[in-house]
Amino acid sequence: MLINYIKIAWKVLLRHPFYTFITLFGISLTLTVLMVLTSFLDHLFSSHYPETNRDRSLYIMLMVQRDSARSGRSSGPMSFQFLNKYAKTLKTPERVSIFSAFNSSNAYVGSQRIKLNTKFTDADFWRVMDFDFLEGKPYSEQNITNGDYVAVITDDFRKQYFPDATESAVGKDVEIENIHYKVIGVVKGSPVTRPITYADVYFPYTAPKSNYQRSDMRGGFMSILLAKNKSDLKAINDEFQDRINQIPLPIVENDNKYTYLEVKSEPYAANFIGQILDGGPGLKAILFGALAFILFMLLGLPALNLVNVNVSRIMERASEIGIRKAFGAPIQTLVWQFIVENIFITLIGGAIALLLTSGIIYFINSSGWIAYADLTINLSVFLISIFVCLIFGFLSGVLPALRMSRLSIADALKS
């Protein structure tokens, strides 16, 4: 029976090429947008180079301090000393890394200025992350202890600063903000959409201008807690929260008295979204309103348009429906047939969308709009796309099917 429905749907498609073109164009365009969006969200939140351990990592990105009336609030990254005391000493994680947000710097090649983003990290940063070292190696605990002026640079910065690609950059000198560093490693860069690992140059946290000696609770550093297994994440979070709960309150800093302290260790996506949700009810309303609007524009409107197209297409088959009803075909059979036909057409549109998405993703990755972009159609993106195809086909097919199946035999035969 299913094969017969698909054969009928194929014959209907061949009967009116223009209708078929309009239908497939609408389906494939909508699904292409959804697939590209899904691929981009996967690029943002899933485990990809060099953050391949996101699924077993907790992120400590933000400290929130509030006064007793909870009317005043101060939030931001933490100091190195705070994280070194309360995160680095945890016993449950496999490794703990402390690193700074990226900062702007300048380097010069002759009279040409190169704008840079730099980051201060500890040695564990290179063990928690999975960077590809094209040359050399990362700095070690010994380099940090010695206060060595060393740096790991990206391949892109290497091309700009050392134009001669035939010579190794390892061991050479780079001057950044009038300070000389020895290059000990060259890595393949991380996309700018991954702010945890994105930078052009990486320094040990003991390098000048890192301010790692600050004794305040707040500063410019964040931390990652890497678990041995995903099942350890809860235990790690419990241990960290227990440490935070032991901090004496209230805290007085810069003439401000804070009675409440909140520091979370969360998975990457929860941390990213949580910072938006913590922005207050106004920001929440904007976020959810924008999401609802985007979903309606991407899925709702095309589905409504496709419903109208499907109604017109199915109305042409009123006489066929009338005859089948006259011979005793039940409503459920007719509804099921039109839904199967519509899902079949949607899957054809999905296949076209898959080809279009591959081309668009290739263009985005090779265009340089996002440095080191690595958008892909992996298994999760593909399965989500198939699911969206089925939902889209069902939504746009069920209403016309119900309408046609409820036509009386006389009305159907008249049309």
DSSP per-residue codes, 320-336: HHHHHHHTT--HHHHHH
- What is the C-alpha radius of gyration for the chain, rounded to an integer number of angstroms? 29
CA-based nearest residue to 240, from 55, 78, 46: 78
CA-based nearest residue to 45, from 272, 199, 224, 223: 272
Residue 382's H or E segment, with its range, is: helix 379-405
Token pair 């003439």 is at which residue? 255
CA-based nearest residue to 155, from 185, 193, 127, 179: 185
Quote the pLDDT of residue 324: 77
User: How far is 186 from 93, CA to CA, in rounded Å?
Assistant: 28
Quote the pLDDT of residue 215: 86
Q: Name residues of the chain where pLDDT drops below 50.
A: none
Both tokens of 30, joined, read: 């909508």
Give the tens place of pLDDT for each residue, 80-128: 999 999 999 999 999 999 999 988 999 998 888 999 999 999 999 999 9
Quote the pLDDT of residue 302: 67
Supply the DSSP symbol for 93.
S
Quote the pLDDT of residue 203: 97
In sequence order, which ranges of 112-267 are alpha helices (DSSP H)?
A: 125-128, 141-146, 155-161, 233-245
Both tokens of 44, joined, read: 């943002």
Residue type, 293: F
Quote the pLDDT of residue 415: 59
Whether pTM > 0.75 for this model: the answer is yes
Main-chain phi, psi angles of 362, to 5 degrees: -60, -40
Quote the pLDDT of residue 279: 57
Give the tens place of pLDDT for each residue, 2-59: 777 777 777 777 777 877 887 788 778 877 887 888 888 888 888 999 999 999 999 9
User: How far is 221 from 295, CA to CA, in rounded Å?
Assistant: 36
Quote the pLDDT of residue 88: 95
Quote the pLDDT of residue 412: 66
Q: What residues does 266 pair with on adjacent strands?
A: 59
How many CB atoms are closer than 10 A to CB 410? 11
